[in-house]
Amino acid sequence: MSHLKLSSLAMALALGSSAVVLSACSAMSDAYDYLTDATDGPVKEPTGYYPHAHAQELVDPLQVPADLAQPYTDKTFTVPEVAVTKESRTLVGANMDVRPPVVAQVSEMGIEVSNSDQDAVLWFMPYNQFGVQNEQDAWDLLTAALSFMNVPVANADRERLILDTAACDYNAFGEPYDSVSAEFEARRYSQTYKIQVGHSMAGQVGYYIALISSSSFSADGDPVGETLNLRQKSSFAVGMGNSIIKAMMLQAQSQEEIPDTIQVLLSRDNNDQDALIVQAPYSATWNVLRGLLEQYSFTIDEYSISRSSYTVVVSEEDPEYYRALGVEPFGLESGTYIVRLAVAGDNTVITFYDEDDKPLPTTKVAALYAGFAQALQQEFAIYKREGANYLAKFLEED
């Protein structure tokens, strides 16, 4: 028995060894054939496993309700159908009007203008800095602005709060024709407007501006027979609104009473946080602060009129950089900061926060105070001397 078992085991081992050798030889042969591309037989030999034989097409699980068969289409930028006219057929080549529509502006003073078909609507925001609270305030501000623009008024109905402007020359952007327009030989547009003071359903006070008539002339005064389309009428109405906003801003700034010497105190705000108290009107301080930030290594990343805040990025400078500008170093490390303004009677409060919207600690505000107060006083002196021209660069940027 023992001998037979050993013989069987030996035979099994011998057969197993032969099987391994044969298997290895077969594998080597297949690999050699595959690499030398002598034959494609091995790669085509059946393996007994066919994944594609078990594949099946499933029903689409997405079921669209019947009432959603037609997807929503935003028609905000749909080009309206405009009837072809005898004049429009000739507007090709050099005669084609390629001017973009005038962009509606949002003023830092809390007033904005927007399109309304071929007309324009100008609204005073609740936080507007002109003190407009009712329609009568808006009427007085409008007549003063038109006078500032040298736009003549043909009829003014104070009871109905409607006025018609007399014919006046404007450029292609709805701005009163001036020496700059003449220098560039810009086309003149003799136009009249109807402006009505009213309020929205939400109670916002504003102006409705409509272009009534328009005649075009060359810079030398020769008639140009141009008929305005709806887009052009809308652009002129919005441009007139922008011009009124600009006039209101410049007029308000020229009427500010700024002390000859501005005092800046280190104190605390209504939230008991360390702050700077500037003895100057809010609007003037807002304007001066914007000029200051852009001169002393502050990059304005964002600003909000409604929240009365600037978000700035500070690049830390060498102390001599500040001393060369006539102020002490600000002592702020590089990073992002939030600067907020608030009204405190006749004064303005400036509070500083870090990028996490946490107020700066007392030590940092104290280190900032001396240099920042000196910078504010210097900027106020420039602002008082230059008046409306101080903000001309900001108007261009906006």
> Tell me: the pLDDT tens digits for 27-63?
555 555 555 555 444 455 556 566 666 666 677 666 7
pLDDT of 98 higher than 60: no
The confidence band for 69, taking pLDDT boundaries of 50, 70 and 90, is low
Name which of 280, 285, 284, 375 is nearest 332 in CA terms. Answer: 375
Give tens-digit pLDDT for 191-200.
999 999 998 8
Query: Which residues in 240-264 are b (16+ Cβ under 10 Å) and which e?
Result: bbbbbbbbbbbbbbeeeebeeebeb
User: Looking at 76-80, 242-246, 299-303, which range is the least confident one?
Assistant: 76-80
Q: How confident is the model at residue 21 (pLDDT cuts 50, 70, 90)?
A: very low
User: What pLDDT does 112 receive?
Assistant: 81
Top-confidence residue, 308 or 379: 379
- What is the distance between the alpha carbons of residues 187 and 225, in angstroms, rounded to a whole number? 12
Is the per-residue pLDDT at 106 higher than 80?
Answer: no
Task: Considering the chain, tell me which residue range(s) the CATH 3.30.310.170 domain(s) occupy.
Answer: 264-397
Number of CB atoms found within 10 A of residue 123's CB: 20
Q: Which pLDDT does position 197 carry in this prediction?
A: 95
Give the confidence band of 91 by pLDDT, cuts at 50, 70, 90.
Answer: low
**Who has greater pLDDT, 388 or 342?**
342
Rounded to the nearest integer, the mean pLDDT of the chain is 79
Is the CB of residue 359 less than 8 Å from the CB of residue 352? yes
Using one digit for the tens of pLDDT, what is the confidence trace for 257-315? Answer: 677 788 999 998 888 899 999 998 887 888 889 888 888 878 888 887 667 889 999 98
Q: How far is the CA of 312 from the CAs of 171, 282, 332, 368, in angstroms? A: 37, 19, 12, 15
> Is the pLDDT at 331 greater than 80, yes or no?
yes
pLDDT of residue 66: 66
Range(s) within the chain of domains with CATH label 3.30.530.50: 101-254
CB 371 within 8 A of CB 328: yes
**How much is the pTM?**
0.47
Q: Does domain 101-254 have CATH number 3.30.720.120?
A: no
In 3D, which of 214, 196, 210 has the Cα closest to residue 142? 196
Tokens of 110: 């809390």
What pLDDT sits at residue 93?
A: 66
> Which percentage of the chain shows pLDDT scores above 70?
71
Check whether 334 has a pLDDT greater than 50.
yes
> Does the pLDDT at position 152 exceed 90?
yes
23 pLDDT more than 90: no
What pLDDT does 42 receive? 47
Q: What percent of the chain has pLDDT over 90?
A: 28
Backbone φ, ψ for residue 14 (5° rounding): -65, -45
Cβ neighbours around 106 below 10 Å, total: 15
Q: What is the mean pLDDT of residues 122-129?
A: 84
20 falls in which pLDDT band (50, 70, 90)?
Answer: very low
State the distance between the two ends of the chain, measured CA to CA, in whole angstroms.
107
The helix (H) or strand (E) run that includes residue 301 is: strand 298-304
CATH number for the domain formed by residue range(s) 264-397:
3.30.310.170
Residue 354: pLDDT band with limits 50, 70, 90: very high
Between 270 and 90, the higher pLDDT residue: 270
Least confident of 23-32, 44-53, 133-142, 217-226: 23-32
